[in-house]
Each structure stands twice: as C-alpha cells, then as structure tokens.
C-alpha cells in the first residue's frame, strides 16, 4: 500500500485548473501538473483496502462501480509513493493500453468506489494515472516494441476509436498483421472529433498512434468501409474483421420547424470545431455572436457549452429534461454506488464566470422552433416537465406541463440528446445482425457476430458508453479474435 495512515496525514489535492476567464481564450488543456513529491503524497493516500472496490468494475445499484479495466490501482499507487515509477508503469500497462486517454477523459469510476470516499475524499486515482503515464513519456519509458515474431494472420479493424485502437494494439502485440480503417481524415474516432481539445489535445492521440505505427500497425484514413471500400474486399483479404465503428447515430428531437437553419447535432458541431482548431480557421458552425441553446445535460452537452463560449457565443443555455440531482448522496444511493449527485463541469464553470449564472435549466424541453422569414432559427418555445410514474412498467417518465410554455431567443440549437446506436450501413455491408437497440449483435457472452470471422466491440457493440469501457471491450474482443485465429490466446 501507500504510506501507512497516509490517508489520515495527507489531504486530497488535485491539479490546479487555469481560471475560467483565462482558459476560455484558447482550446488548450488547462490543468497544471503538480510536482513529483506532491504526487507521491497523493499516492500515499491509497489504503490498499482488503476489498479494493476501485478496481472491481462491477454493477452495484444499476450502475458500474469501480474500473471496468480492473486497473491494479493499489499496486501502482504504492509504487508512485515509493518513487518506483518504472514498476508502477508496468502494473498500469498490464491492464490499460491508453492511460493517457483515460487519465484525461474518464469520469473516474474508480474514485467513486474508493474506500477513502466513504467518510472523506477519494484518492486522486485518475490524476495519479495521468501523472504516471506522462512521466513515462517524458523519461522515454514508452518506446515502440514491435513483436519479435509474426503469425502470418491478418486482421482488419473498422474504426479507430478507443475500442478499435485497443483491439489493434493487443492483436499486434500477438504478432498478427493489423490494418485499421478510419473514414475520417485523422485517426482517433471519438477521441479525435468527439472530445474537444481542452479535454484531450490531439497531439496526445498522434503520439500514441505514431508508436503503434512504429510497432507495425497500419492505418488507412479516408476509408469509409461499406461505402468507398467494400465489405467483400475486406473479408476476402483478412482472416478476421472487427467492427469498432462506434454508435454515431444521434438521437433527434421531433418538434415543429426542426429544419430551421442553425440547428445541429452536437457530434457534428464538435467535429467541425475540432477540425477548425486543427486547421487554425473559424468553424463553419461557429457560435460566434450567437445565442446558443443546448439540448442535453450530459458530458457532450457540457463540451458544447465550453466550445460555444470559446467561439464567442453571447449567451448559452443548457436544457436538461431530468430534475436537478442532489448536492450530496441521497440515502438510497450509498457508497460504493456511483454517486448520483449534481456535477458542475468545466463548461458550466466557464458559463457561470462569463454570464453570471449556471447555464442549466432542469425539467425543461423544447416544444417548438421559430424561424425568421429566411428560415434561420430566431427563437425557441420551451416548456416544463414533471416526473410521473408509469403504474404498468414502474418507470418514471418526464411529461410536459401544459401552460408552462416560454419563448426564448436563440439563433443556434445544438442537440446533445445521446445516440441511438451504430449507423446501419456498416452492419448491412457485412450482413451482421443488429439488436433491438440497433447495436451490432453478438453471440451471448461473446464478441463474435452471426457472420463467420466478423467480430464487434466498443460502442458499436454495447451502445454509447465511456472510453474506459471501449478499451475494456477492445481488449476482451482481441483475446477472442486471437483464440479464433490461433486456437488459444495468452492475451
């Protein structure tokens, strides 16, 4: 464990964030790393519990508690405390291919389950993880390690998001020849164009991809399999195919005048923004000078808030259909369940600093869009919702309250209402079945689809989820593919 009694001696301290009004001037990551001695103290707070819930990754109370990758958290926290960074790195990489991604964007399921969090503040697990992997890069502990022997088997991975990269990394380590096909112009999938630079600078992705390329993984961009690359060409050329094409089919809203100009899906808006940042130009979907309304209170909605502010929006409102969560855990949401509490993220912090109030309006939805004479959005009619229990199913539904309509000015509407599942054309091209949620279906307890040598993993398989889950699925799928190719697997 870390220092005996360290959790009593040292307080939790996180990386300092640049002040909101300063960080909105650019799209850079905005947390400053603490020095090595301070990081050792944070590692010292780990208790090495008899039951380390932080690495359990199991469902408790309808939500996952602990790390889905089962990261060996007490082990590498101990090594950090003792200054044994190389040993700590070996334990971290044993379970996680890309800690530089999860250390930045994961919501830290591990910390929610940390025993220190039962009666105090959880260990800074995510920041310790990030500090460890960045230390490794700075000290040349991360270097290309191509496999010594090749198997002669070829695998195609469709999609270069976190699950696709994990599949490719694992199978390449086993000596298989892996080619990753990506329809966009850059590798990274969700990581590249679904997450803004201020949360994940794209040089971080490029750095890892360069290492994988040096280890023998081949990457092909602009390859939209099922459209400009045929599924038959892929299946004829490769011994196995893994579909990691994400769940990019956005959930729409059905309202009057939905076709008004200035209405975008969040994923399209964020993609355009990132492409503009990388090109050093202004986004074709810029919020500059606009009154922005965002439908959706999740992480993607928050990313839209932060992006719109950086683009120069004159106001930002975020509509959330559910009631406002409590500030602290409710009695029916005890540790180590995921805490269903109010979270004010970086985008909301910036909106408060810029406009003087929290941008979120709870229990509210859009009823109607009002365009001007040219079809451009100029206003939105919103209305309140109330929770009502369905006596048949027991589910709580949010129903409109008549007479609560209100008209607000808006010339940009961003829809961040989640995703419905994978886009149909890829599964249709490979003739793979889809489940009732439109995800690519697999056999029970397996990643194999109904088609021979075709597998699936990540959001395309499980639906919209977290980066950490995508990596976990990619690793598990790679093991199954390896066993399919070789008759056994030591992954």
- State pLDDT tens for residues 244-288: 999 989 999 999 999 999 999 999 999 999 999 999 999 999 999
- The pLDDT score that the predictor gives to residue 316 is 98
Q: pLDDT tens-digit profile of 156-206?
A: 999 999 999 999 999 999 999 999 999 999 999 999 999 999 999 999 999
Q: pLDDT tens-digit profile of 7-30?
A: 999 999 999 999 999 999 999 999
Q: At 431, is the pLDDT very low, low, confident or very high (cuts 50, 70, 90)?
A: very high
- Specify the CATH number for the domain of residue 29: 1.10.1060.10
User: In whole angstroms, what is the distance from residue 202 CA to residue 193 CA?
Assistant: 9
Helix and strand element counts for the chain (H, E):
18, 20
| DSSP letter, residue 188 | T
Tell me the three-class secondary structure of 101-156, residue by residue: HHHHHCCCHHHHCCHHHHCCCCCCHHHHHHHHHHHHHHCCCCCCCCCCCCCCCEEE
Indicate whether 143 belongs to any domain. Answer: no
Same domain, 413 and 426: no
Same domain, 348 and 437: no
Indicate whether 36 belongs to any domain. Answer: yes
Closest residue by Cα to residue 55 from 136, 166, 129, 162:
129
* Straight-line distance from the first to the last Cα atom of the chain, in angstroms, rounded to the nearest whole number: 27
User: In whole angstroms, what is the distance from residue 438 CA to residue 433 CA?
Assistant: 9
% residues pLDDT > 70 (the chain)? 100
User: In whole angstroms, what is the distance from residue 408 CA to residue 36 CA?
Assistant: 50
Residue 393 clears pLDDT 90, i.e. is over it? no
Q: Which residue has the tokens 């025993």?
A: 115
User: In whole angstroms, what is the distance from residue 213 CA to residue 209 CA?
Assistant: 6
Q: pLDDT tens-digit profile of 90-144?
A: 999 999 999 999 999 999 999 999 999 988 999 999 999 999 999 999 999 999 9
For residue 144, say if its preceding peptide bond is cis, omega within 30 degrees of 0: no
The H-or-E segment that residue 79 falls in is: helix 73-81
- Cβ burial of 403 (10 Å; 0-12, 13-18, 19+) is exposed
Indicate whether 144 belongs to any domain. Answer: no
Indicate whether 290 belongs to any domain. Answer: yes
Q: Which residues pair with 293 in a beta bridge?
A: 317, 413
- Specify the CATH number for the domain of residue 216: 3.50.50.60
Q: Extract the tokens encoding 124.
A: 């800074």
Same domain, 407 and 282: yes
User: In whole angstroms, what is the distance from residue 467 CA to residue 457 CA?
Assistant: 12
- The pLDDT score that the predictor gives to residue 486 is 97
Average model confidence (pLDDT) for the chain? 96
User: In whole angstroms, what is the distance from residue 102 CA to residue 434 CA?
Assistant: 29
Give how far the C-alpha of residue 180 lies from the chain's centroid of Cα atoms, to the nearest Å: 20
Least confident stretch, 29-43, 258-272, 360-374, 386-400: 386-400
pTM: 0.96
Same domain, 79 and 113: yes
Same domain, 356 and 270: yes
Examine the fold and report which residue of 138, 167, 196 is the final residue of a domain before the chain moves on.
138
| DSSP letter, residue 333 | S
Residue 63 clears pLDDT 90, i.e. is over it? no
* CB-side neighbour CA atoms (13 Å) of 65: 20
Q: pLDDT tens-digit profile of 35-57?
A: 999 999 999 999 878 889 999 99
- Cβ burial of 101 (10 Å; 0-12, 13-18, 19+) is buried
Q: At 404, is the pLDDT very low, low, confident or very high (cuts 50, 70, 90)?
A: very high
Query: Are 432 and 454 within 8 A, CB to CB?
Result: yes
* CB-side neighbour CA atoms (13 Å) of 98: 34
Q: At 1, is the pLDDT very low, low, confident or very high (cuts 50, 70, 90)?
A: low
* CB-side neighbour CA atoms (13 Å) of 485: 30
Residue 463 clears pLDDT 70, i.e. is over it? yes
Indicate whether 174 belongs to any domain. Answer: yes
Q: At 81, is the pLDDT very low, low, confident or very high (cuts 50, 70, 90)?
A: very high
Same domain, 96 and 205: no
- The pLDDT score that the predictor gives to residue 142 is 96
Phi-psi region of 207 (alpha: psi -120 to 50; beta: other; left: phi over 0): alpha
Same domain, 378 and 469: no
Domain count, the chain: 3
Indicate whether 215 belongs to any domain. Answer: yes
- The pLDDT score that the predictor gives to residue 411 is 96
Using alpha carbons, list the distances in angstroms from residue 283 to 85, 143, 478: 41, 36, 37
The runs of H, that is alpha helices, within 248-328 are 266-279, 299-311
Indicate whether 308 belongs to any domain. Answer: yes
Indicate whether 149 belongs to any domain. Answer: no
- The pLDDT score that the predictor gives to residue 437 is 87
Query: Are 225 and 158 within 8 A, CB to CB?
Result: yes
Give how far the C-alpha of residue 128 lies from the chain's centroid of Cα atoms, to the nearest Å: 19
Same domain, 474 and 413: no
Examine the fold and report which residue of 138, 166, 191 is the final residue of a domain before the chain moves on.
138
User: In whole angstroms, what is the distance from residue 305 CA to residue 303 CA?
Assistant: 5
Q: What three-state secondary structure class fits 373?
A: coil
Examine the fold and report which residue of 138, 165, 193 is the final residue of a domain before the chain moves on.
138
Domain range for residue 316? 252-417
Q: pLDDT tens-digit profile of 283-308?
A: 999 999 999 999 998 999 999 999 99
Same domain, 275 and 364: yes
Residues in the chain: 491
Same domain, 339 and 391: yes
Same domain, 236 and 380: no
- The pLDDT score that the predictor gives to residue 119 is 87
Same domain, 360 and 426: no
């Amino acid at each position: 464990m870390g220092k005996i009694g360290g959790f009593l001696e040292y307080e939790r301290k996180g990386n300092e964030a640049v002040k909101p009004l300063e960080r909105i001037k650019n799209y850079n990551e905005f947390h400053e790393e603490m020095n090595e001695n301070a990081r050792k103290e944070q590692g010292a707070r780990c208790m090495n519990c008899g039951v380390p819930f932080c690495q359990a990754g199991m469902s408790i109370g309808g939500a996952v508690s602990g790390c889905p990758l089962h990261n060996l958290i007490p082990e590498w926290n101990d090594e950090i405390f003792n200054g044994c960074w190389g040993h700590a790195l070996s334990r971290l990489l044993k379970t996680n291919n890309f800690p530089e991604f999860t250390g930045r964007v994961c919501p830290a399921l591990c910390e929610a389950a940390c025993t220190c969090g039962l009666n105090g503040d959880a260990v800074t697990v995510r920041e310790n993880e990030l500090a460890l992997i960045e230390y490794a890069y700075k000290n040349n502990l991360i270097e290309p390690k191509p496999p010594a022997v090749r198997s002669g088997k070829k695998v195609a991975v469709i999609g270069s998001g976190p699950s696709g990269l994990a599949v490719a990394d694992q199978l390449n380590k086993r000596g298989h020849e892996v080619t990753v096909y990506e329809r966009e112009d850059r590798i990274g999938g969700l990581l590249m164009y679904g997450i803004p630079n201020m949360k994940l600078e794209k040089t971080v992705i490029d750095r890892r991809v360069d290492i994988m390329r040096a280890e023998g993984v081949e990457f092909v961009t602009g390859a939209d399999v099922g459209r400009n690359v045929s599924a038959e060409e892929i299946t004829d050329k490769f011994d196995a195919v893994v579909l990691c094409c994400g769940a990019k089919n956005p959930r729409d809203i059905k309202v009057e005048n939905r076709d008004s100009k200035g209405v975008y899906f969040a994923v399209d808006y964020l993609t355009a923004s990132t492409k503009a940042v990388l090109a050093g130009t202004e986004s074709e979907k810029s919020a500059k000078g606009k009154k922005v309304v965002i439908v959706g209170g999740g992480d993607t909605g928050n990313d839209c808030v932060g992006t719109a502010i950086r683009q120069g929006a004159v106001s930002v409102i975020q509509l959330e259909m559910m009631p406002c969560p409590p500030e602290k855990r409710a009695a029916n949401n005890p540790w180590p369940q995921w805490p269903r509490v109010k979270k004010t993220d970086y985008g909301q912090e910036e909106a408060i600093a810029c406009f003087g109030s929290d941008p979120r309006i709870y229990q509210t939805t859009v009823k109607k869009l009002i365009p001007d004479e040219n079809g451009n959005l100029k206003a939105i009619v919103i209305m309140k919702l109330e929770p009502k229990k369905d006596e048949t199913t027991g589910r709580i539904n949010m129903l409109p309250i008549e007479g609560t309509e209100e008209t607000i000015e808006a010339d940009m509407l961003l829809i961040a209402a989640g995703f419905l599942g994978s886009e149909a054309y890829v599964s249709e091209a490979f003739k793979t079945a889809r489940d009732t949620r439109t995800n690519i279906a697999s056999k029970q307890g397996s990643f194999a689809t109904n088609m021979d040598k075709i597998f699936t993993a990540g959001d395309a398989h499980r639906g919209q989820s977290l980066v950490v889950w995508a990596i976990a699925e990619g690793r598990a799928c790679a093991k199954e593919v390896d066993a399919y190719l070789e008759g056994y697997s030591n992954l």
